[in-house]
Chains A and B, each alone.
Chain A
Amino acid sequence: MNPSRPEPVQVVKHRRDAALRGLLSGVPYIAYLGIQFDRRGDELTAILPFDEKLIGNPALPALHGGVTAAFLEVAAIIELAWGSMWDEMEAGRVDPVADMGKVRLPKTIDFTVDYLRSGLPRDAYARARINRSGRRYASVHVEAWQDNRSRLFAQGTGHFLMPPALGASGE
């Protein structure tokens, strides 16, 4: 904990990327949908690359409403888990490799999706904003877009039950 000497950038990036990978790699459904995350510092953007199996209306064609809901929900859950482990990870109290197996993801209590326009057959992006995160409950808003950041195709709000903090010993 000597603040006078900043860590080398490779060390910082390696730690954060490893932790994010660890968070995602344990969830088969995230891999099944093909959802990836782009990280800039602590900011995450969820990416859903287009795939034929995500289509819900073949006539248009358009993304399945359930896929959109799942994409938003995954973006919210990962943002919450990421946000709650960030301080512990940066302080070196959580090992981004060895401790990832212990990470418990937040549980969805409810989730509401607004479908603003039909999801086009191309990549989609989502960013989540934590509006309130207490010890037990959290409220998250998610926005999803495709070609234009300002033209959302869906947004969602959800409430989540938070798992015990990683650093918390038995509390």
Chain B
Amino acid sequence: MTDIIRIARQFIEAIPHARALGMAFESLGDGKAVISMPYDPRFVGDPATGVIHGGAVSALMDTASGAAVMCHPTGPTSTATLDLRIDYFRAATPGQAITARAECYHVTRSVAFVRVTATDEDAARPVAAATGAFTLDRPRKETA
């Protein structure tokens, strides 16, 4: 189990775009991942209000979803997004970090179904949510 978490953590930390957006792990394991992204003026989508662009929130939710797949107990070796549907509920409050909580709620042999929610400091009112389907590469069976 700890090995799976270590692999998933390495997987995410090796992603240049996740690093570029300043993403950091809050927790990880058992097909669930929590990743946060600090507020950064470079990621603003509406300069009049200072609100973060939806695209940056999408990138955060996509990363959290991929991480949730990678730490699923079946121990996938890699994953890629097949589709992602994002619903935007409200503007994230400027100056606040955004946190994405992703959960693999079903996996088949080759596909993982994930849902993810993004919140700012007001965790009771989500900023956005998404559901996605991800490819799942299983480790090759060891021959005994």
Residues of A within 8 A of B (CB): 26-33, 52-59, 62, 64-67, 69-71, 73-74, 104-105, 107-115, 118
Q: Are A66 and B45 in contact (CB under 8 A)?
A: no
Q: How far is the CA of A64 from the CA of B85 in the complex (A)?
A: 16
- Closest CB of chain A to B51's CB: distance in Å? 10
Structural contact, A112 and B81, CB atoms closer than 8 A: no
Secondary structure call for the A interface: mixed
Segment at the interface with A among B1-9, B15-23, B24-32, B102-110? B15-23
Which one, B20, B66, B88, contacts A65 given CB within 8 A? B66
Q: With A107-B88, A108-B88, A111-B58 known to touch, is A67 a contact of B43 (CB < 8 Å)?
A: no
B82 touches A70 (CB 8 A): no
Contacts of A111 in B (CB 8 A): 54, 58, 85-86, 88
In the complex, the answer to whether B53 meets A115 with C-beta atoms within 8 Å is no
Binding site for A on B (CB under 8 A): 14-20, 41-48, 52-56, 58-63, 66, 78, 80-88
Nearest A-chain residue to B65, judged by Cβ: A65
Q: If A32-B43, A70-B59 touch, does A112 touch B84 (CB 8 Å cutoff)?
A: yes
Which B residues are CB-close (under 8 A) to A58?
A: 14-16
Q: What are the 3 closest A-B residue pairs judged by CB atoms, nearest first?
A: A66-B59, A70-B55, A29-B53
- Nearest-CB residue, chain B, relative to A101: B48
C-alpha gap A92/B19 in the complex (Å): 45
Residues of B within 8 A of A104 (CB): 48
Of A66, A108, A115, which is within 8 A of B82 by CB?
Answer: A115
Known contacts A53-B16, A64-B63, A66-B63, then 8 further A-B pairs from the complex at CB < 8 Å, ordered by chain A residue: A27-B47, A58-B16, A64-B62, A65-B66, A66-B55, A66-B59, A110-B87, A114-B83
Q: List 30 A-B contacts (CB under 8 A).
A: A27-B45, A28-B45, A29-B43, A29-B45, A29-B55, A30-B53, A53-B16, A53-B19, A55-B15, A55-B17, A56-B15, A56-B16, A56-B17, A56-B62, A56-B63, A57-B78, A59-B78, A64-B63, A66-B62, A70-B53, A70-B59, A74-B55, A108-B88, A111-B54, A111-B85, A112-B83, A112-B86, A113-B83, A113-B86, A114-B82
Q: What residues of B have a CB within 8 angstroms of the CB of A62 in the complex?
A: 80
The CA of A70 and the CA of B63, in the complex, are separated in Å by 13
Query: In the complex, are the beta carbons of B41 and A28 less than 8 A apart?
Result: yes
